[in-house]
């Protein structure tokens, strides 16, 4: 039954994708003189359709849930509109399109050079022969692998000051909502996309499977960032990251720093770095399952004496510019 349902869904989505590609995307590609990239544009069409589905789920399901059980009343609508802009740029493929022209030639060059040296892609079949004949299991293995990578990428962005200067854009949202996940500095996103594309290349993830991996991760992260009073119970909290668990990561003075001790001042660090599964936080000692919905933001955004009323920008351009200034230690 499940195989028949999956085949029907693939056929249905494939027909929609082909129609959009033939009637919308392909004419634009040829009009712009990029006919040589038609095959890659087909993959881009898949990203676009997946993004539209994500946004529909966010608006039709997560939005009503936020209104039903909000953690706090949203008062800064302008900040939410900025987060929506970030979401549209990322989910509708605009950022992916830019990354294609920036990273694709580099990744092709790296792969070609490695092949000349005799390097071959690693495949999950090398670890577990026959597993790719069970798509659900191989998908879950890749999901867990990339989630572990995401845990360490995220944790390191809280460890090094130059990296935190960029990642702080994400944490500067004082009113988290379902739109807050993509609120990132573009330089941080470029670095992340390069790292994940390189790993996907190294382990031999199929492009269509990679799209689904990213799409599922993004949708779950939209749920985690939602202004939603929701937890999954004792067991569920230890199987999948909930809005409550991730809100602790965004909590002022908790998620972005290690607390001061008698012999050490407060410093970069935090807790709950996991992206999909809390297992890595549990394994590496960074999990905090406290049943509290904390205020979110960064300590130095707070007025004195708690902080120093530091501005991280009120709109997209100012947030990007101030991130660069922090990176260069100019502000």
Report the 10 Å Cβ neighbour count for 292: 10
- The SS3 call for residue 75 is coil
Tally the domains of the chain: 1
Helix (H) or strand (E) holding 258: strand 257-258
Distance CA 217, CA 196 (A): 13
Helix (H) or strand (E) holding 98: helix 94-116
Closest to 171 measured CA to CA, from 324, 313, 21:
313
Residue numbers of the domain that contains 192: 2-327
**Would you write out the chain's pLDDT as a tens digit for each of its 331 residues?**
445 545 555 666 667 777 777 777 778 767 667 666 666 677 677 778 888 899 999 999 999 999 999 999 999 999 999 999 999 988 887 676 666 666 666 667 776 776 777 766 666 666 666 666 667 777 888 899 999 999 999 999 999 999 999 999 999 999 999 999 999 999 999 999 888 888 887 777 777 778 888 889 999 999 999 999 999 999 999 999 999 999 999 999 888 877 655 566 556 778 999 999 999 999 999 999 999 999 999 998 888 887 788 999 999 999 999 999 999 998 7
Tokens read off for 313: 């920008």
CA distances to 82, 171, 307 from 175, rounded to whole Å, are 12, 10, 18
Nearby residues of 259 by Cβ (< 8 Å), 6 or more positions away? 253, 266
CA distances to 59, 80, 95, 285 from 179, rounded to whole Å, are 10, 7, 16, 29
């Amino acid at each position: 039954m499940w195989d028949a349902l999956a085949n029907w869904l693939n056929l249905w989505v494939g027909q929609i994708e082909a129609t959009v590609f033939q009637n919308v995307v392909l004419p634009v590609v040829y009009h712009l003189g990029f006919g040589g990239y038609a095959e890659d544009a087909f993959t881009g069409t898949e990203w676009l359709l997946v993004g539209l589905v994500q946004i529909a789920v966010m608006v039709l399901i997560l939005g009503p849930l936020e209104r039903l059980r909000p953690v706090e009343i949203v008062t800064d609508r302008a900040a939410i509109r900025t987060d929506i802009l970030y979401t549209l740029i990322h989910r509708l493929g605009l950022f992916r399109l830019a990354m294609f022209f920036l990273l694709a030639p580099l990744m092709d060059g790296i792969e070609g050079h490695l092949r000349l040296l005799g390097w071959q892609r690693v495949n999950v079949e090398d670890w577990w022969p026959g597993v790719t004949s069970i798509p659900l299991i191989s998908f879950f293995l890749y999901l867990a692998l990339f989630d572990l990578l995401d845990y360490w990428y995220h944790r390191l962005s809280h460890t090094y000051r130059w990296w935190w200067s960029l990642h702080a854009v994400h944490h500067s949202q004082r009113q988290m909502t379902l739109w807050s996940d993509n609120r990132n500095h573009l330089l941080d996103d470029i670095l992340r996309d390069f790292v994940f594309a390189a790993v996907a290349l190294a382990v031999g993830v199929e492009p269509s499977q990679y799209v689904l991996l990213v799409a599922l991760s993004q949708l779950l992260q939209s749920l985690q960032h939602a202004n939603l009073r929701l937890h999954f119970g004792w067991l569920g909290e230890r199987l999948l990251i909930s809005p409550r668990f991730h809100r602790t990561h965004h909590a002022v003075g908790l998620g972005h720093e290690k607390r001061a001790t008698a012999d050490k001042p407060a410093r970069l660090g935090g807790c709950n770095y996991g992206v999909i599964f809390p297992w890595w936080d549990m394994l590496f000692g960074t999990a905090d399952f406290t049943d509290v919905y904390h205020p979110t933001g960064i300590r130095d955004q707070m007025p004195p004496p708690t902080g120093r009323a530091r501005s991280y920008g009120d709109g997209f351009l100012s947030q990007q510019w101030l991130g660069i200034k922090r990176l260069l230690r100019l502000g």
